[in-house]
Amino acid sequence: MTALQDQLDEITANTRHLVQAERLAVGERAVSDLFASGIEDRILPVGDLAPDFVLNDATGRPVRSQDMLALGPLVLKFFRGRWCSYCVTELEAWRDLYGTLRERNALMVAIGPQTERQSDFMSGQHGLPFPVLSDRANLLAEKFGLVYTVPEYMRTYYQSILVNIPFINGEPSWTLPIPATYVIAKDRLVLFAEAHADFRVRPEPEEALAAAFVHHGH
């Protein structure tokens, strides 16, 4: 299986061929500004307790973290939206590992700020076997320390590539989460936490799974 990061690096390389330099520079600036804000140092860390949550899945049905944690450890995959090819590629990598995850009694949800309708499109298009939950206005992502407001210069860029974030998210705040992977034990203890200001970098799913299973084996 090709490592997830290799697949993501290929998207980056292709983008560099296709996108004009001045547009690429806007994206680079946004990443470095976000990194400089210190957001990575403020995420909910390993060893803390994760907050409980109730969020709607793509069909509008409420999904409760307590119900899932009663069954086993839980992987939370915070993503930006179905418009982000890196997020979609990452969710497909998790889709392909989902059987392994379930064999070991772990569960998983993807969490993003997009509307239920957008999640429904995405789940269908990419055959995602786990719930995709709508975190309206990023209220849950905020509790994990993942949220930032898209700067003005980046809003213009997104609009130029037809990514209308207020429409996709169904609210006007222009906030997004930095993509993050969490593994939570049945007692809500955070076993694995990784988030990057650079949206092109994601942990390998196997690393996160290892954290869930080592703990679960005790």
Q: What are the tens digits of pLDDT across the range 126-184? A: 999 999 999 999 999 999 999 999 999 999 999 888 899 999 999 999 999 999 999 99
Cross-strand bridge partners of residue 108: 75
- Pick from 68, 44, 43, 46: which is nearest to 55 by CA? 68
- Pick from 11, 155, 144, 190: which is nearest to 87 by CA? 11
Rounded to an integer, what is the distance from CA 105 to the centroid of its chain? 21
How far apart CA 197 and CA 26 sit, in angstroms, is: 15
**Amino acid at residue number 146:** L
Class level of CATH domain 4-216: alpha beta
Task: Grade residue 19 by pLDDT with cuts at 50, 70 and 90.
Answer: confident
205-216 and 85-103 helices, crossing angle to 10°: 30
Mean pLDDT of 26-49: 95
Strand 107-112 relative to strand 132-134, pairing: parallel
Prediction pTM value: 0.94
